[in-house]
Structure 1
Amino acid sequence: MAVNISILIIDDDEDICEYMKTLLLATGYQVETLSDPTLAEEKVRSEEYHLLIVDLMMPKMDGIELIKQIRRADSDVAVVVFTGYPSVETAVDALKLNVSDYIKKPFDVDEFREKIADVLRRKGLLLNPEAELHRTIGHNIRRIRKEKELTLKQLARRTSLSVSLLSQIERAESSASVSSLYKVAVALGVKLTVLFGEY
């Protein structure tokens, strides 16, 4: 899933760097760490990263200042900031610099992994965005169908599609045509775009 996604962790605390690196390597990402933030701008200029994880509170350099330098080197790279001292002011400053997400320390491991995956998804960097789209459509159809208390058989009758096809669409095992999705949206009483979620 995460093949060839390159991540750089920038934190003066080497133990935190190694801990996050271990978590992300286990997920399949390529990960480097940097404990001296003064070297970050040059590293970002000379190497290609998909995502940077930056600590906001470092003695050698303020995290916001570091992000400004990073943005001069690469205006598009995804940046996630994390801090043990969250404040509204730093969150606002980070958002002004087009930061993708904000994580508070200490963090929950599963939540951390999900936030990283979510940032990469939003950037269109996960290996198979098409599969993600199919999962999203299937999940939304199932959710709306359950909310409306419809069985697959009832939805099949409303759409003139087979129960088997609808089941495959919900489980993301089959890609549906736009025509089929339109029939499903009409049968569920929602706009076609609702099925696509944030895509």
Structure 2
Amino acid sequence: MTAGAHILVIDNEKGLCKMLEAVLTDSGYRVSAFTEPQKALEVFHPGHFHMVITDVKMPAMDGLEVLKLIKKQDDDVPVIMITGYATVEMSIHALRNGAFDILTKPFEPEELMQRVRNGLRQTSLVEENKQLRQELANHDRFGEVIGKSPALTTVLDTARKIARRDISVTISGESGTGKELVACAIHEHSARRGKPFVAINCGALPESLLESELFGHAKGAFTGADQEKKGLFEMADHGTLLLDEVGNLPMNVQKALLRFLQEKEFYRVGETTPTSVDVRVLAATNADLQEEMAAGNFREDLYYRLAVVRLEIPPLRKRRTDIPLLAAHFVEIMNRRFGTKVKGFTPEACEVMIGYDWPGNIRELKNVIEATLAIESESLVGIDGLSRLMDVKKFRKNNAHLAGLPKYSDALSSFEQDYFATLLQRNRNNVERAAEKAEVNVATLYRKIKKYNLR
């Protein structure tokens, strides 16, 4: 946020109020100044002001009450609190209620402007994350698949076209790339939408149970089969069946599946009368089925029946431009689930996420964001919080020179604890002076004091 931002100033001391107005106006900001907090609150509306600066001690209404009322209307606007004496307790209370920074009197105009610029920078970051969420809301989705990178768009364009054609499709890609989401989207864009979509992981069940799970069994077909059971093919009748990790199918099940694809019928285990159903079969795999055919582990005739159309979902490292969009999507989900109000990520954190190779793909990204939001309390997640949950050795940059060094998150925490403890000691525990020396705002320093239990 550059010059031209609109700032609301509240201070019952007329002289200080005029001084604040003059300094801010000289720097190119638009200012609305009030000595009565009630009148200031009457003109405050969400989105109308880019920042609020308020005194803490005022006779009619104290600044902490003003802070709560401001945040109730617009949680995104940064609020700088001005006080004659900032105790740790008061500062933590203000920060917990959403204050961006605390400025202790007396202060120099340069110090005020530095805090203002930092606060307006946060406003810009929040606005950027809002735009990202808006972009996400306007995103032309294919089912629940998120992304608009060229690598993904090409695949989804093909998926949209073949969704309406009742043919078998094989979806390949690394683990965690969203193969099941693509399969589900194909189903939802087909004439079978509204009918069952059934998925099974072919590698999750032992061979002895898999055939019965897929095709069902007759009563008494084997030990423990005390009643007739319908299989997943019957459960998916008139709908779609996804065979995930299809490369794990044993040969006897491959033979039965081939018969179904050819004849549209199958035999339940223990029965001699065939059962007919109308099911579209989709397959997903993270293995190379052609290599499995060459090794004799997968039937060639079945492969060509399943892979009438082949879709390959690119890994996340080949669609890095989708990462901010996916991150915004997961933040939105986690905020709804946990009742949190995280706005998004700082530019540095976004750079880390984009530069990371994500060996676990989208699943790993989701897990990292979920864990980060469970740990972090900041409205904008920074690199220090994010890095505690990521293996930085897998960044794109050459990290050979890091061999033998501790994890980045551990090294950062150790450095911060020593740095801020020494900083406070050298400045005789004067938080304002220490923050000025470190060139960080007072709110940041108070957070570090709390985080590392510095006394």
**Aligned in 2, Cα 1:81/1:27: closer, same or farther, shift over 3 Å?**
same
Give, in whole Å, the separation in 1 of the partners of 2:400 and 2:21.
Answer: 47
Give, in whole Å, the separation in 2 of the partners of 1:111 and 1:26.
Answer: 15
Provide, for residues 46-81 of structure 1, a one-character-per-residue CA deviation record: whole Å limited to 9, x for no partner.
871000001000011111111111122222111000
Provide, for residues 130-182 of structure 1, a one-character-per-residue CA deviation record: whole Å limited to 9, x for no partner.
xxx8xxxxxxxxxxxxxxxxxxxxxxxxxxxxxxxxxxxxxxxxxxxxxxxx7
State the SS of the aligned residue for 2:121. helix
1:95 aligns with 2:95: yes
The code of the aligned residue for 2:117 comes to A
1:48 aligns with 2:48: yes
Mapped contact 1:68–1:97 kept (Cα < 8 A): yes
1:30 aligns with 2:1: no
State the Cα distance separating 1:114 from its structure 2 match. 0.8
Paired position in structure 1 for 2:9: 9
TM-score (norm 1): 0.61
The code of the aligned residue for 1:10 comes to I
Mapped contact 2:52–2:78 kept (Cα < 8 A): yes
Equivalent residues, number: 141
The code of the aligned residue for 1:28 comes to G
Mapped contact 1:44–1:74 kept (Cα < 8 A): no
State the Cα distance separating 1:42 from its structure 2 match. 2.0
State the Cα distance separating 1:17 from its structure 2 match. 0.9
The code of the aligned residue for 2:52 comes to L
State the SS of the aligned residue for 2:60. coil
The answer for unaligned runs of 5 or more in structure 1 is: 126-132, 134-181, 190-199
Give, in whole Å, the separation in 1 of the partners of 2:104 and 2:21.
Answer: 17
1:75 aligns with 2:68: no
Mapped contact 1:40–1:70 kept (Cα < 8 A): no
TM-score (norm 2): 0.28
Larger Rg: 2
| Percent identity over paired residues | 34
Structure with bigger RCO (C-alpha 8 Å, 6+ apart) = 1
The code of the aligned residue for 2:103 comes to I
Provide, for residues 1-35 of structure 1, a one-character-per-residue CA deviation record: whole Å limited to 9, x for no partner.
83330001000111111101111111111111011
The list of structure 1 runs, each at least 4 consecutive aligned residues, that deviate by more than 3 angstroms after superposition, is 185-189
Pairing of 1:1-199 with structure 2 (within 5 A): 2-45=2-45, 48-124=48-124
Instruction: Calculate the aligned-residue CA RMSD, in Å.
Output: 3.1
State the SS of the aligned residue for 2:99. coil
Give, in whole Å, the separation in 2 of the partners of 1:188 and 1:120.
Answer: 38
Give, in whole Å, the separation in 2 of the partners of 1:121 and 1:46.
Answer: 18
**Aligned in 2, Cα 1:69/1:24: closer, same or farther, shift over 3 Å?**
same
State the SS of the aligned residue for 1:90. helix
State the SS of the aligned residue for 2:31. strand
**Aligned in 2, Cα 1:188/1:28: closer, same or farther, shift over 3 Å?**
farther
